[in-house]
Amino acid sequence: MSGKRKQNTIKMTTCSDGQGRTLRSGAVRPGRMHDQTAVNTEGIADLLGQHPTVQAHVDEGYRGLARAFPEQVLAPPRKPPKDAPAEAVATWKQARTQQSSRRICVEHAVAEHKQWRSLQRWLGRREYFGEAYLAVAGLVSDRAARR
């Protein structure tokens, strides 16, 4: 196996509003760190506790946050077991589609960052990627605010 395949990825946490504009981008962390660990170290749970009117649509990695804040955080529904009846699978698919439709604004915000040429194929040192990503996120956020 090549040594390059064993390199770690880098994850970012991005928050956006309902129109897909970046509100916050940060929390640069290694790809091997679980999302729930990042929630605990970044203080996201504390922020949700301080702002009870804020709602978040998250992916599956943040399911623990959805359990802790069921009124504020909406995670995708759990997949039914293999032996589940067809009605349960159909209900799951419909709920999953609805949740994906609500989360699409976040995916668009992340995609807008990745459209910048300098981030499409990062050739620099891994430890500098976070700074470059945050700089691009700031430029994207500033550009979106002017629209």
Q: Does 144 have pLDDT greater than 90?
A: no
Mean pLDDT of the chain: 80
Q: In total, how many domains does the chain have? A: 1
Q: At residue 84, what are phi and psi to the nearest 5 degrees?
A: -70, 150
5 vs 75: CA distance, rounded Å: 30
CB within 8 A of 4, min separation 6: which ones?
A: none
Calpha distance 117→128 (Å, rounded): 16
Query: Any bridge partners for residue 13, and if so which?
Result: 26
Tokens of 133: 């990503």
For 38, the enclosing helix (H) or strand (E) is helix 35-42
* Poorest-pLDDT segment among 15-24, 121-130, 132-141: 15-24
101, pLDDT greater than 60: yes
Give residues with Cβ within 8 angstroms of 43, minimum separation 6: none
Say if CB 52 and CB 27 are below 8 A apart.
no
Confidence category of residue 55, pLDDT binned at 50, 70, 90: confident
pLDDT tens track for 67-96: 888 888 888 888 899 998 999 999 999 988
Q: By residue range, what is the domain housing residue 17?
A: 3-146
Binned at pLDDT 50, 70 and 90, residue 147 comes out as low
- Residue 20 is encoded by which pair of tokens? 């897909």
pLDDT value for 94:
92
